[in-house]
Amino acid sequence: MAKKVLVVDDEKLIVKGIRFSLEQDGMEVDCAYDGEEALEMVREKEYDIVLLDVMLPRLTGFEVCQQIRDFSSVPIVMLTAKGEDMDKILGLEYGADDYIIKPFNILEVKARIKAIIRRTSPKPKDVSRVIQNKDMKLDCESRRVYVAGKEINLTGKEFELLELLIMNADKVYSRENLLKLVWGADYPGDVRTVDVHVRRLREKIERNPSEPQYVHTKWGVGYYFA
């Protein structure tokens, strides 16, 4: 089945180029040119990934990303022409899974898209399983998480981070190892990406994020699932 991609950018030539290249690889591509249009399209259709420009009319890419996270865990890649560290972290704060800095090589864009879709696609049924720990249940096939019977809406990277930790309970991972295992060895970001995602994950799954029951910090070493 063809993967469905939403490309959001107010620069129509950029959208046209990305769309042409992705369609050449057999993907289905929809396009939006402002924040409100993008938000409405994500509400109406299911996508495998969203490419979302930061600077958009009506709603910024960050605002769109934040609102999407209220109802969907679709992978989101931010497109930014700025590239400052704070902008990258800000995008991750709002729930983005990755970012690409303009100007970019379309081959890099396609490689990142395919890697994210591959990591976030449901696992084959013969390796699927449900992991139960305390009052948390992780369904690895459907990529759904429940705490005390309530479903928690996680982003793709938040789920992968939690899945790795819970499947290796009590094992302490350094921030560098988590970055490599969850984001990949070629990911251009730094370990602050891990810190941001751990904090966001705690805000969603912990009753009191400042006194976590699940994801703990081993000071000076890294993180682990107790």
The predicted-structure confidence for 103-153, as pLDDT tens digits, reads as follows 888 988 888 888 888 877 765 544 447 888 888 999 888 888 999 999 999
Does the structure show a pLDDT above 50 at 188?
Answer: yes
Q: Please indicate, yes or no, whether residues 115 and 156 belong to a single structural domain of this protein.
A: no
Does the CA dihedral 99-171-119-162 come out positive or negative? Answer: negative
Number of domains within the chain = 2
For residues 210 and 164, state if they share a domain. yes
- Tell me the average pLDDT across 41-63: 93
Quickly state the pLDDT bin for 68 (edges 50, 70, 90): very high
Helix (H, G, I), strand (E, B) or coil at 133: strand
The domain in which residue 174 lies consists of 125-225
Judgement on whether residues 111 and 147 belong to the same structural domain of the protein: no
pLDDT at 168 over 50: yes
Q: What percent of the chain has pLDDT over 90?
A: 52
Mean pLDDT, the chain, as a whole number? 87
Percent of the chain with pLDDT over 70: 92
Q: Is the per-residue pLDDT at 156 higher than 90? A: no
> Are 100 and 144 found together in one domain?
no
Q: Kindly state whether residues 142 and 208 are assigned to the same domain.
A: yes
Identify whether residues 114 and 129 lie together within a single domain.
Answer: no
Alpha helices in 133-174 (DSSP H): 156-167
Distance CA 32, CA 10 (A): 8
- Residue 127 is predicted with a pLDDT of 46
Burial of 170 (0-12, 13-18, 19+ CB in 10 A): exposed
Are 58 and 108 in the same domain?
A: yes
> Taking the model in full, what pTM does it have?
0.66
Query: Are the CB atoms for 66 and 95 separated by under 8 Å?
Result: yes
Could you give the angle at which helices 61-68 and 35-44 cross, rounded to 10 degrees? 20
